[in-house]
Amino acid sequence: MEFNRDSSVEYVQMNFDVPVKQLLTEYERIKDRLVIHRPEDGHKDWCAVTLYGFDSDKTNSHWEYDRRKQRPSITDVGEQCPRTIEWVNSLPYARIDDIRFLVIKPKGYITRHVDVPDRNWLEPLNICLSYPEGNKFVLNDKQVDYVPGMPLVLNIHYEHYVENNSDHERVHLLVHGKKKKEFWNDVHTWR
């Protein structure tokens, strides 16, 4: 099956080799820079920090900021995460728009929401770095069984929510950008 940004599937698992330990090591160095993400939407203990974007504390998606005033770039936090930036830059993207660590603290959650209600949009790349037992990610009324190291391109047109019913952080790395055509050559296939 061929995929592109307008594919209507809920998600596509990619076959990228994710250096989970290295990414988590860099996350541990900068996690004191996390800010509460989208508190106005009723989420609980959903935090983020931007490595590449408009500033480390500007954690919304890149399209929500005025690009005429500023171009995205490596933030001060991103400079402290060189291996993470290097690894993302090795992926088949024509352009990176933002890179963020997204964290749900213990007993936190992301409320039900739709990011792009008016169209199918297979975007962003959401990479699981830690997924403690007791976590639940539901997309279009189906539970997604994340495991650390699993990279999924999510269709954020569908309603989704997340619960962290554990005593540990759930850590993901999120990447938005313009994918090269060959990006879709790395789709995970089951035998």
Q: For residue 142, what are the β-bridge partners?
A: 139
Average pLDDT over residues 3-7: 83
Beta strand spans in 37-92 (E) = 44-53, 73-74
pLDDT tens-digit readout, 67-113? 677 789 999 999 999 999 999 999 999 999 999 999 999 999 999 99
All domains of the chain in start order, with CATH: 11-186 (2.60.120.330)
pLDDT above 70 covers what percent of the chain? 97
pLDDT of 191: 40
- 39-58 pLDDT, tens digit per residue, is 888 889 999 999 999 999 99
The CA angle 129-177-6, to the nearest 5 degrees, is 100
User: How far are the Cα atoms of 50, 86, 149, 158, 171 from residue 2, in angstroms, in the given order?
Assistant: 31, 27, 23, 20, 29
